[in-house]
Amino acid sequence: MHQWLYADDVADGGADGYAEWQHGLVDSAYRQDSKGLAASNGIETLHRGCANEAEVFFEDVRVPKERLLGGRPGGGFKQAMSVLNDMRIANAARFVAAAELGFDLTVEFVRERKAFGQRILDFQNTQFVLASIKTEISDARAFVDQCLARTLDGTLTPTEASMAKLHASEMEFSVLDRCLQLHGGMGYAHEMPISQLWSRARADRIHTGSSEIQRVNIARGIG
Ligand SMILES: Cc1cc2nc3c(=O)[nH]c(=O)nc-3n(C[C@H](O)[C@H](O)[C@H](O)COP(=O)(O)OP(=O)(O)OC[C@H]3O[C@@H](n4cnc5c(N)ncnc54)[C@H](O)[C@@H]3O)c2cc1C
The 10s digit of each residue's pLDDT in 164-216 is 999 999 999 999 999 999 999 999 999 999 999 999 999 999 999 999 999 99
DSSP H or E segment with residue 8 = strand 7-8
- Over 70: is that where the pLDDT of 151 sits? yes
Provide the phi-psi class of 107: left if phi over 0, else alpha when psi is between -120 and 50, else beta.
alpha
* pLDDT of 20: 43
Q: Which of 206, 216, 217 to mutate to test the pocket of ligand 1 (most atoms within 8 A of CB)?
A: 206
Ligand 1 pocket residue status of 43, Cβ below 6 Å:
no
What's the CA gap between 167 and 171, in Å, rounded? 6
Ligand 1 pocket residue status of 6, Cβ below 6 Å:
yes
- What is the pTM for the complete model shown? 0.86
All structural domains of the chain with their residue ranges:
7-71, 80-222
What's the CA gap between 17 and 26, in Å, rounded? 10
Report pLDDT digits (tens) over 85-144: 999 999 999 999 999 999 999 999 999 999 999 999 999 999 999 999 999 999 999 999
Q: Which atom of ligand 1 is nearest to the CA of 4?
A: 15
A 10 A CB-CB count for 98 gives 22
- Over 50: is that where the pLDDT of 10 sits? no
- Over 50: is that where the pLDDT of 54 sits? yes
Q: 52: pLDDT confidence band, cut at 50, 70 and 90?
A: low
Ligand 1 pocket residue status of 8, Cβ below 6 Å:
no
Q: 1: pLDDT confidence band, cut at 50, 70 and 90?
A: very low
Contact 19, 30 (CB under 8 A): yes
Ligand 1 pocket residue status of 46, Cβ below 6 Å:
no
97 CA to centre of ligand 1 in angstroms: 23
Q: Which residues contact 66 (CB under 8 A, 6 or more apart)?
A: none
CATH number of 80-222: 1.20.140.10
* pLDDT of 223: 76
